[in-house]
Amino acid sequence: MRAVGYFREAAPSSVAKIRAESAPRTGRAPAAESIGRQNRRFLDYCEAQGFEVATTFAEEAKGATTAFGQLIEYLKRPEKGFISIVTPSPATLADDTVVAVARCLQIERLGAKVQFMDATAEDGADALGIVLESWSAGRDDGMRDKVRSALHRKAVRGEVLGRPPYGYHVGSRNRLELVDDEAVVVRYIFKLYLQEGLGIRLIARRLNEEGLRTRRNGAWSMVSIRDILRNRAYLGTYQRLGVRVPGTHPALVSPDDFRHVQERLSDRRTNYSPRTVSGFLLSGLAACGSCGNRMIGVSRRQAWTRRSDGSAQSASYRYYQCESRTNRGTCTYNTQRAEELEENVHQQLANLDPRSLATAGDDGAVIAQWQAEARRLRERLQQIDRRLSRSLEAAAGVKLSSEKLRTQGMPLAEERLKAEEELRDAEWRAEHYSSAVERRRTRNAALELLVSQWETLDLSERQQLLRELVEQVKVSDEDVQVLLKP
C-alpha cells in the first residue's frame, strides 16, 4: 500500500483541547510536535507497516490550509491508486474536532483512508470512529448518562420530548393533543396522496393554491409534505430514543392507510434506473425573473414504446426551473431548457464589447469586493460546521452510529470542501488584485478564453470563468439578461 504523509503543527489551544479529551482515556497528554519530528515518525511508521512512501504534505505556517488543499488535489488524480493518508493524530489533521471529522470524510470521499500513527490496536482502524471517541472521552460521561436516563423514562411514559409534529400540540399531561385546524390539513394530505393519487410536488402546490399555510405561516414544500407522510406519530404512536409507545395520543391516519402510503413512497424511491447526472453550468447564477428566487437544474428521464415497431425508447431532458415552483409550486414561471439557456449566455458574452468590462471600480472597490466574498464564505463554513457539529453531538449521545454519522456527514463534508476551495480563491484574489487595472486585465483574459474555448473547457473551468464575469443571469419568459459584475 502507498502512503501519503500529512504534517502540521497543532495550535496550542488545540493541544490543550486534545489533552483534556484524551487524558481520561490514555492517562497522558499529547505534546506538540515539530514538522521534522512528524516526518521522521511517518517514515518509521511506513517501514514498520510495510507501506511505500508516495509523498508528503506539510503546512508551513500555523493555521494554514495550503498543504491540505494540495493533498486534496493530489487525491483527485485518477492514477493515484489506493492510498492511505497517514498523520499523527486528529489534532494534527485539524485544530477543531468538527473540521477533523469533515477532513476524514473528504478524504474518504476521494477514495483514500486516514490512519493515525498515535492510534492503538484498541482504537481500531476507523479514523472517523477514533475522532469521535477522542472527542467523546473528555465529556462528562456521568452527567450525560443521567440526562439520557431521565429522557428515556419520559419517552417510556409517552411524554413529549422536543417539538410536536404538525397537527398536535403538547397538552397539560405533556402528551400530544390535536390542533383541530392542523389535523384537518394532515388528513387532507394523506387523502390527496392515497385516494386522489397526487404526487408530493402537486400536493404542495394544491395546499399553497388553496391558501393553506404551515405552522410558521410559510408555504408548503416537498420536504414538509414528505415528512408528514413518513411520520409514524400520525398513527397515535410516540417514538423517541429507541422507545415506541402506541396509543399515547389520537391518531390521524389508520394503520392500513399509513402502510399503503409507505409502500407507494418506497416504490417511487426504488423504481428507477441508476444514471449519472452532470452538473449545471449556471447553478448559483441563474435567477427567476418572475419571483427573484434562484433557478435550479433539473434532470428528467422519459421512457416510451414506439407505436410503429413496439421498441422501447428513452430520452433525458435537462432544464432550469424556478426553485419556488420546483419545491412549492408557488411561481408561475415554468422551465428553460438547459442547453438553450446556456447557449444564450454564451452568445451574449461572445457579442460583448470588452470595453464594457472597463468599469471595474477603483482599487479600493476591487479589494473590498473580494474581502466581502471571503467573509461570506467564512460565514458559510461556520454554518456547515454547526450542522456537522449537531450530527457529531448526536453520534456522541448514541443517537447516531458511526456509519450514520458518515452517511449524514459526507454531503456536508463535500459542501465544506467546495467552500474551502472558493475561500482560498477569494483570499488569493483579495491579495493579488492589488489594482483595478490588474482586475480588468484578468477579466478581459477570462472573457476571451470563455468565448473562444466554450466547447473545450470542462464544466468547472467554465463555471469559474463565468463567476469571474457574471453577477447574475436573470431569466424570464420574454428575455434572458446577463448582468455583469461591477
142, amino acid identity: G
Same domain, residue pair 16 and 108: yes
Q: How much is the pLDDT for 125?
A: 58
Q: Mean pLDDT across the stretch 354-373?
A: 68
Q: How much is the pLDDT for 435?
A: 61
Boundary residue ending a domain (91, 108, 138) = 138
**Does the residue 20 lie in any domain?**
yes
330 versus 106: the higher-pLDDT residue is 106
Q: How much is the pLDDT for 278?
A: 57
Specify the residue for cell string 422536543: 162
Same domain, residue pair 121 and 37: yes
Q: How much is the pLDDT for 164?
A: 81
167 φ/ψ angles, rounded to the nearest 5 degrees: 105, -10
Same domain, residue pair 108 and 161: no
Q: Does residue 98 register a pLDDT over 50? A: yes
**Does the residue 477 lie in any domain?**
no
Boundary residue ending a domain (270, 289, 319) = 270
Q: How confident is the model at residue 187 (pLDDT cuts 50, 70, 90)?
A: very high
Same domain, residue pair 41 and 102: yes
Q: What is the largest CA-CA distance in the chain?
A: 78
**Does the residue 173 lie in any domain?**
yes
DSSP-derived secondary structure for 221-239: -HHHHHHHHH-GGGGTEEE
Q: List, for residues 114-144, the tens digit of each pLDDT value.
A: 999 987 644 455 788 888 777 666 554 554 5
Q: List, for residues 234-277, the tens digit of each pLDDT value.
A: 988 766 555 566 667 889 999 899 999 988 887 754 444 434 44
Q: How much is the pLDDT for 325?
A: 60
Say what percent of the chain tops pLDDT 70: 74
**Does the residue 298 lie in any domain?**
no
Boundary residue ending a domain (235, 270, 305) = 270
Same domain, residue pair 129 and 159: no
C-alpha cell at 201: 410536488
Residue 226 sits in a domain whose CATH number is 3.90.1750.20
The CA distance from 212 to 186, in Å, is 11
Q: How much is the pLDDT for 192?
A: 93
Same domain, residue pair 160 and 113: no
Q: Mean pLDDT across the stretch 338-343?
A: 92
Query: Of 206, 201, 189, 159, nearest to 252 (Cα)?
Result: 189
283 versus 30: the higher-pLDDT residue is 283
Q: How confident is the model at residue 24 (pLDDT cuts 50, 70, 90)?
A: very low
Mean pLDDT taken over the chain: 78
**Does the residue 123 lie in any domain?**
yes
Where does 30-81 show beta strands of DSSP type E?
Answer: 52-58
Q: Mean pLDDT across the stretch 11-33?
A: 47
Q: Mean pLDDT across the stretch 171-200?
A: 89
Same domain, residue pair 25 and 129: yes
Listed range (28-32, 460-464, 472-476) with the worst mean pLDDT: 28-32
**Does the residue 362 lie in any domain?**
yes
Same domain, residue pair 6 and 133: yes
Same domain, residue pair 265 and 168: yes
Order of strands, sheet of 470-475, starting from the edge strand that comes earlier in the sequence:
286-288, 470-475, 480-484
- Which domain does 385 fall in, by range? 354-452
Q: How much is the pLDDT for 15?
A: 43
Same domain, residue pair 15 and 126: yes
Same domain, residue pair 120 and 159: no
Give Cβ neighbours of residue 274 (< 8 Å, ≥ 6 apart).
none
Listed range (109-123, 125-139, 312-326, 369-383) with the worst mean pLDDT: 125-139
Q: How confident is the model at residue 64 (pLDDT cuts 50, 70, 90)?
A: low
**Does the residue 485 lie in any domain?**
no
Q: How much is the pLDDT for 30?
A: 46
Q: Mean pLDDT across the stretch 200-215?
A: 90
82 versus 212: the higher-pLDDT residue is 212
Q: 263: how many CB neighbours lie within 10 A of its CB?
A: 10
187 versus 268: the higher-pLDDT residue is 187
Specify the residue for cell string 454547526: 386
Highest mean pLDDT among 23-37, 51-65, 359-373: 51-65
Q: How confident is the model at residue 469 (pLDDT cuts 50, 70, 90)?
A: confident
**Does the residue 315 lie in any domain?**
no
Asked whether the whole model's pTM tops 0.85, one would answer: no
Q: List, for residues 402-437, the tens digit of each pLDDT value.
A: 677 788 888 888 888 888 888 887 887 776 665 666
Same domain, residue pair 24 and 106: yes
Q: How confident is the model at residue 336 (pLDDT cuts 50, 70, 90)?
A: confident
What's the total number of domains in the chain? 3
Q: How much is the pLDDT for 271?
A: 45
Q: How much is the pLDDT for 270?
A: 45
